[in-house]
Structure formats: C-alpha cells, structure tokens
Amino acid sequence: MRGCVSRRRIDVRGLSYSVLESARGPAGRGTVVFLHGFAGSADDWTETMEMLHAAGYGAAAVDLPGHGRTDAPPEPDRYAASSIVPDLADLTDALGIPSAHWAGYSMGARVALRLAIERPGRTRSLILESASTGIPNLDARRERQDRDEALAREIETHGIEWFVSMWEAQPIFHTQDALDDATREAQRARRLRQRPAGLARALRGLGQGAEADVTPRLSAVRVPTLVLAGELDPPYLAHAARIVSGIPDAERIVIDGAGHNIHLERPEPFGRTLLDRLARLGAPASAAARAHA
C-alpha cells in the first residue's frame, strides 16, 4: 500500500465492504469516490487517488460486492444496483462524506449513474468513464443474461487463471497490448487475486443482462456530469453520446489514444481531465495540481 492511501473495512446492511481512502482535502473541495469495473477492485484507482491527494483533494475507492476484499454473498439480488446504492449511501456516511463526486468505470459507471438518479442528495457531480445505460431491448437483455450465466458457470468450473486469460483476450481490451509489461502484469496480478465465486455471483446480479436500461431516467440526473470515452472504443463513444443527450448538464470528452480502460491506458490525460473538472466545479486546484497539469 502506498503512503497516502489506507485500507479499512466498513460493515453496512449485513455486508463487509473493503475501502481505500486518502486524506481529506481542505473544506469545500469535496471528495471523489471511485467505483471499479467488472473483475476490478479499489486497487485499480491507487495511482489516481495519489494524484488527487498530491493536489489537495480527498478520495476513496470501494471494492464492490464479490470483488477485491469485499464480501461475496450467495444471493444474486445482493449484487443488484438497487441493493448497492443504499449500501454506498451508508458507506459514505461512515466515511464522513455526505455528498461526493462519484467516478465510475464501466460497471462502476452504471452503479454511479443509478446512485445519481436514486440518491441525488448524495451526488455533487458524476464522472462516467466508458459508461453505458444498459440494454434497452428486452430480448437482447435476456440473451445477454443467458451469456452472462454461461460465463459465470465457466468461471466457477475453470477457476480464476482461466478467467483472467480469457478476459484479457476480449477484443475490447486489445488496445492494452501496447501497454508496458509492468502495467499489464500489475493489472493481471490484481485480477488473479479475485475469487471465482465472487465474480460469478456479481455477473449474475450486476451484469448488463440483469440490470434494466436507465435511458428513460437520465433526465433525473441533475448534477454536472462528465462522460469520458476512449478514441479507440467506438461502441462506448456512441454510448457516451447517448448519455450526454439525455442528461441536462452533461458533456462528453474523448481521450485520444485510449481504448475502454482510459485510466489504465492513458493515466496522465485522465488525471488532468479529472483535475480540470474539479476546478471547473468550484474546487480550486492547488499549486501541486497546477504543476501536475
């Protein structure tokens, strides 16, 4: 664990969550809470959290159910966004964060979007990275649910090493082939620490096939929203455009040279964009932030 980031466990609604947090910034700057993607963890955000800490901002990152060191309960409903949203409200109470800037990647972005819709008082702003609203067509959603169930069974049968090798070979991640060996190996090591049962259960409860499409509810998001998409990720460029068209105060920024996982593939542009966003929301950057930019 790096110096400015510490880990703690917080029990909410019968579930023990693992959370990374860094020191709080000065009053008024707010805190960014990060939510990872499928097969990720809070550890994915350590570099970004350190950057925020150096600039004087507070940050926290959550291991979602079934991921990292958070509990992996057997009930699929416990992984649904409708269940995680009240967990996160209680979690941020325990952290002393009444209202946060929520930053979510992929699966985590869908959770953050639901939180902004259902708990508007908990949200100062949204940063959605490689986000989608879900699958609008019911038949297509059922087909995706069947595929997710089949994958969940394979994960349980073949184990974590099989899953990680299969997952890394997905076309959506091919842009990561250009990353340096150390970065790719560190990500693989984090994935190999996942539990097969936790990933399988999360896929059943929080996969795109399990969650309703929230496109008709986007107009309920009443906070400033930044939607980030990678230049090399065409499907999510289109998703980003649809999200921005549905949220009253939203903008899309495309990160050059990035695929699906922007904060991994292009950490410096991602960090600069995040700092600029916080500054424009009235959280003035410190000298350290300006130097980093």
Q: How confident is the prediction for the chain on average, in pLDDT?
A: 93
Q: What is the mean pLDDT of residues 109-131?
A: 96
Q: What is the DSSP string of 137-195?
A: SHHHHHHHHHHHHHHHHHHHHH-HHHHHHHHHTSGGGGGGGGS-HHHHHHHHHHHHTS-
The model's pLDDT over 237-276, given as tens digits with 9 standing for 90+, comes to 999 999 999 999 999 999 999 999 999 999 999 999 999 9
- Residue 40 forms part of a structural domain: yes
Is the pLDDT at 45 greater than 60? The verdict is yes
CATH code, domain with 243: 3.40.50.1820
Strand partners, 226: 127, 251
pLDDT at 56: 85
- Residue 120 forms part of a structural domain: yes
The model's pLDDT over 196-248, given as tens digits with 9 standing for 90+, comes to 999 999 999 999 999 999 999 999 999 999 999 999 999 999 999 999 999 99
- Residue 203 forms part of a structural domain: no
Tell me how far apart the alpha carbons of residues 224 and 120 are, in angstroms, rounded to a whole number. Answer: 12
Categorize the per-residue pLDDT at 54 as very low, low, confident or very high, splitting at 50, 70 and 90: confident
Domain count along the chain: 1
Q: What is the mean pLDDT of residues 146-166?
A: 98
- Residue 58 forms part of a structural domain: yes
- Residue 222 forms part of a structural domain: yes
Share of the chain above pLDDT 90, in %: 88
Which residues span the domain enclosing 98?
A: 5-134+212-292
- Residue 182 forms part of a structural domain: no
